[in-house]
Chain A
């Protein structure tokens, strides 16, 4: 579950080159329908999403509401945010640092709607998703206009003033925040409540991972990849840069808000800390140390770093040093993080896949071209069979 598998590239690029070889039998409409057909059958996003949800549920059930279970459930909340960041920062290289703000929108939105307007958990979750989408659309419409470093600067300023706003707003509970946020699914006792809320959180995580993988493995994913490599190249092949930037920003922000809602629901309280730059730093570490292009990596990274942060051992006391050194080593040795290093060890690097696929495609196209030429030369339709 790293970058889109090389097979996807064949999915998109495969049928098009086969056009000439197919000669009279396959027109553009057939090619497009072929592409759509193959895309629809792509089992990875759904399978991965289901797997993540099922494994998450099983793990949380086994932990049975223990302290570790609470930590993992909190980590799942962060993981939903980081999964969105894979698309934004890792895959599209959109230099936006506003995830903690939207995490706060989700957390505070849930808190306000539940404690002040008596929304149920489900209602507040749906409302928060809608609210975050609208807010991200409005903010993104202006923010994504900013070029390169200006976008980074604008989104760095966002947490500064939103944090100040939350700390001085009595309506948002000022420094102490909002207490009494209800869990997603209330059980008979604390343990059951934690397990059940964890199950909902794991399902949301599976859903988020499925959506992100679906985008990454689609034609839009390829457009995003082209944009990330070279915006001018992307534009020259017809990619609408502003539209794609906005879409990525909105999706990442909505997932961040869902993660915030999960955190509020699990912890029962929302404080301004969720909006602070420290929160954004933690999220960045979860993404960059674990592997900014790997959905699986950032999920595990979020849970592990949350565990390390809350543990009372030597590690938690010196976490800053450990995280900093780990980040530097990873940047120097393997910029794609721990997930990238594991992929390298297992020989599963997507760039290798891409290289081997290119070789395979080139050989295949060559064969087809020769066959087609032979067919034309022979005056029959043998090329179609190739």
Chain B
């Protein structure tokens, strides 16, 4: 029982990481039908930037966090203004499936390069927000940073779900993803929603990086992997349902931990991804994407 609970704790922690990136991807995709492949790089910037500001530049932790989050938000706004606005509002450049993937892929490359130039190739971990020994509840042992990670993921998923489902603004944001033209006809500023949610998810990802980095540590190359697992989690939420993306991420994380604990510690990821691959291929309806209309 003790082993199961500890595997569950580890699985929920890693699942929360998958889930939060999936949620960030899903909510933005819902608004503008573009995948944010730079979401992991925003998290990386949050983690490494705050660690550098506190440990090297000597800023107080809270000031470091504020500076980094402001910097990430500014970067996201700048990217939207220069690239996304030009591409989607002015109709210039590539669209269709290329636009879905490659604008933010370009941003990811730039952020990774800038991080390498600024912070080098070292591993960074931000100071722990909630420091102290691991928590023990019966046989359940979990690190404090892990509790924060799981809590942040669940709260973020719930907030995003509630925003999209119950608020007028959320419904307007969803309408932008359904039809830009239609939403504009009824007076919804799709560009504004795209920009706001892009900035919000970038800041959320950076905050998550700060909270999570004491557990895993970050290098300038951490971003793409995080984005990729976010895409996987978002994929199991039809790329549009942030709440379900968090749930999918948690399930994936727990499955990964259980496979590692009870089947093979070496091949748990292989087995997990093989299972996910099989689900996508043989049961694509689980993703909610469904077959393309004939």
Q: Does chain A have a CB within 8 A of B4?
A: no
Nearest CB in chain A to that of B116: its residue: A320
Q: Which residues of B contact A320 (CB under 8 A)?
A: 109-110, 112-113, 116
Q: Which residues of A contact B292 (CB under 8 A)?
A: 147-148, 231
A-B contact count (CB 8 A): 137
Nearest CB in chain B to that of A337: its residue: B94
Q: Does chain B have a CB within 8 A of A160?
A: yes
Q: Which of B97, B109, B272, B289 has the most CB of A within 10 A?
A: B109
Q: Does chain A have a CB within 8 A of B217?
A: no
Is the CB–CB distance between B277 and A158 below 8 Å? Answer: yes
In residues 92-120 of chain A, which contact B (Cβ within 8 Å)?
93, 95
Q: Does chain B have a CB within 8 A of A275?
A: no
Is the CB–CB distance between B280 and A335 below 8 Å? Answer: no
Is the CB–CB distance between A156 and B232 below 8 Å? Answer: yes
Question: 0/1 per residue, B207-228, Cβ < 8 Å to A?
Answer: 0000000000000010011001
**What is the CB-to-nearest-CB distance from A200 to chain B, in angstroms, rounded to a whole number?**
33
In residues 141-156 of chain A, which contact B (Cβ within 8 Å)?
142-143, 145-150, 152-154, 156
Chain A contact surface mostly: helix
Q: Which residues of A contact B239 (CB under 8 A)?
A: 149
Question: 0/1 per residue, B92-113, Cβ < 8 Å to A?
Answer: 1110111111110111111111
Is the CB–CB distance between B232 and A153 below 8 Å? Answer: yes
> A160 vs B83: C-alpha distance in the bound complex, in angstroms?
30
Is the CB–CB distance between B289 and A321 below 8 Å? Answer: no
A142 in contact with B282 given A149-B235, A160-B228, A160-B269 (CB within 8 Å): yes
Is the CB–CB distance between A150 and B267 below 8 Å? Answer: no
Number of contact residues on B: which range applies? 35 or more
> A327 vs B107: C-alpha distance in the bound complex, in angstroms?
9
Q: Which residues of A contact B93 (CB under 8 A)?
A: 331-333, 335
Q: Which residues of B contact A142 (CB under 8 A)?
A: 281-282
**What is the CB-to-nearest-CB distance from A334 to chain B, in angstroms, rounded to a whole number?**
9
Q: Which residues of B contact A277 (CB under 8 A)?
A: 224-225, 228
> A145 vs B106: C-alpha distance in the bound complex, in angstroms?
29
> A168 vs B270: C-alpha distance in the bound complex, in angstroms?
10
Is the CB–CB distance between B102 and A147 below 8 Å? Answer: no
**What is the CB-to-nearest-CB distance from A140 to chain B, in angstroms, rounded to a whole number?**
11
With A153-B287, A320-B109, A321-B114 given, name 9 new contacts (CB 8 A).
Answer: A147-B289, A147-B292, A153-B232, A161-B272, A164-B267, A235-B294, A278-B221, A320-B116, A332-B92
Interface residues of A (CB under 8 A from B): 93, 95, 142-143, 145-150, 152-154, 156-158, 160-161, 164-165, 168, 231-232, 235, 277-278, 281, 284-285, 288, 317-325, 327-328, 331-333, 335
Q: Which 4 A-B pairs have the closest CB atoms?
A: A320-B113, A324-B109, A161-B273, A321-B113
